[in-house]
Structure 1
Amino acid sequence: MIFILPLLAVLIGYLIAKFLKPSSSSTFKLLLSFSGAYLLSVTVFELLPEVYEHSGKEIGVFILLGLLFQIILEFISKGLEHGHMHHNPNTQQFPLMLLVSLGIHSLLEGFPLNESSHLLYGVAIHKIPVAAILSIFLFNSKIGNIKAFLFLLLFALMTPLGSWLKLQFEFIQTYAAYLNAIVIGVFLHISTTILFEASKNHKFNASKLGVIILGIILAYFM
């Protein structure tokens, strides 16, 4: 499942992009809010206690490094990880740096997936809206369908690759707590940004609040 579910999430995101218009869809924004709430909750309920249980307070340094690292990645990706797309849609060049940024992010999030089924679900849910936005950008751009498909394929494979590397190489397992701490920082930044930016003009939205509460409840009890 840790290899199949992330791939399936990207496929679902592509199908959403094909048949819906996520940029103007309130349903899509609710999905984005739910994914942020669920991912944040799993991080707080499971990942954070686990890394602090087996490490000292220095693990917090790696959490903050992960947060800072994600900020750097978003300078390249323009915030696609949390539902924004600010790249030029008329570009004819293959967006290599965008692929590098998303690839590193996806690779990192694959490392801890074998430790928690809840986290696996959270990452998969998070990937759906990201893949939808990415699909819209790629197929509306002028890079061609083959390059667009290649981009999506590489993006889809990076998270399973991270999980595979974790299982295959002992040195990654040795430093798993520190790597997980970096991933926690990444998740904290992405999920909180999603929740803070999902409301237009930061107005109260009962539907958004409802799906956030639902995400928290499901992450706690499932």
Structure 2
Amino acid sequence: MIYLVLFLAVAIGYVIALLLKAKTTHEMSMYLAFSGAFLLSMTILELLPEVFEMPTRRIGLFIIVGILLQICLEYFSKGAEHGHVHLHSEKRNFPWLLFFSLSIHALLEGFPVSEENNILIGIIIHKIPVAIILSFFFIKAKYSTGITIAFMLLFALMTPLGNLLSNHIEYFQKYATEITALVIGIFLHVSTTILYESSKDHKFNLAKLIVIIVGFTTAYLI
């Protein structure tokens, strides 16, 4: 069921993009702000307590590595993980760099998902707007339907694959705490970047502040 839900999060985002046929992603800013606040809260409330059985400095090291890894991935994905896609291609070939960077991100975020925490909800709320924005990019860039569907299908499989590996491969189970700490770093960077970019020109926006508070509160109540 977890694998199916993780896959459907991307599929739902793609279908929503087809239905909306939006020309810009401006309307997504509110939902992105909510998803960023929700993901940040779930990371702090659900994942951080899991990893503190290990010596704190080692946890911190892996969290820092996760942040640095996400920064490196965003060099190739151009920020697609937090709602930005800035790629320019006249050949309309399969965007391999975007695919590999997003796949590593998506694969890793599947590792900490379990029945013992609620991080699954945070990932779903995070993945749907990302899938919508990715779909918008492919539609606006006039990529073929075949390339678009192939990309979204493979991307949708990455997070369930990560969860599958974490549950059935002994090596990943042995280093589950370290991997979770790595993912915490990734989530911290992505979610805080979303919140930082959610206000145009970084000006105060009451509506988005309320949305962010609602995101924090919802995650806490869950």
TM-score by length of 1: 0.94
Residue 51 (structure 1) aligns with: 51
Q: Is it true that 1:23 corresponds to 2:58 in the alignment?
A: no
Q: Is the 1:6–1:124 contact (alpha carbons within 8 Å) kept by the matching residues of 2?
A: yes
Residue 118 (structure 1) aligns with: 118
Return 70-79 or 111-120, whichever deviates more: 111-120
Q: Is the 2:46–2:117 contact (alpha carbons within 8 Å) kept by the matching residues of 1?
A: no
Residue 190 (structure 1) aligns with: 190
Q: Is the 1:81–1:130 contact (alpha carbons within 8 Å) kept by the matching residues of 2?
A: yes
* 1:159-198 equivalence runs, <5 A: 159-198=159-198
Q: Percent identity between the aligned chains?
A: 52
SS in 1 for 2:110: helix
Residue 12 (structure 2) aligns with: 12
Instruction: Flag structure 2 segments of 5+ consecutive residues without an equivalent.
Output: none
C-alpha distance 91-139 of structure 1, shift in aligned 2 (>3 A): farther
Residue 207 (structure 2) aligns with: 207
Residue 68 (structure 1) aligns with: 68
C-alpha distance 124-67 of structure 1, shift in aligned 2 (>3 A): same
- RMSD of Structure 2 on Structure 1 (CA): 1.5
CA distance in 1, matches of 2:23, 2:65: 32
Alignment size in residue pairs = 221
The AA in structure 2 aligned to 1:171 is: Y
CA distance in 2, matches of 1:24, 1:140: 11
Residue 181 of structure 1, CA deviation? 0.5
C-alpha distance 57-34 of structure 1, shift in aligned 2 (>3 A): same
Residue 96 of structure 1, CA deviation? 0.7
Deviations 1:138-166 (A, max 9, x none): 23334421111110000000000000011
Residue 15 of structure 1, CA deviation? 2.3
Residue 94 (structure 1) aligns with: 94
Residue 16 of structure 1, CA deviation? 2.4
Residue 25 of structure 1, CA deviation? 4.0
Q: Is the 1:36–1:192 contact (alpha carbons within 8 Å) kept by the matching residues of 2?
A: yes
SS in 2 for 1:3: helix
Q: Is the 1:90–1:142 contact (alpha carbons within 8 Å) kept by the matching residues of 2?
A: no
* 1:106-145 equivalence runs, <5 A: 106-114=106-114, 116-145=116-145
Residue 42 (structure 1) aligns with: 42
The AA in structure 1 aligned to 2:186 is: V
Return 6-15 or 121-130, whichever deviates more: 6-15
CA distance in 2, matches of 1:5, 1:55: 34
Residue 220 (structure 1) aligns with: 220
Return 130-139 or 171-180, whichever deviates more: 130-139
CA distance in 2, matches of 1:142, 1:2: 33
C-alpha distance 173-8 of structure 1, shift in aligned 2 (>3 A): same
Q: Is the 1:22–1:132 contact (alpha carbons within 8 Å) kept by the matching residues of 2?
A: no
Residue 48 of structure 1, CA deviation? 1.2
Deviations 1:31-51 (A, max 9, x none): 111110011001111211221
CA distance in 1, matches of 2:140, 2:198: 24
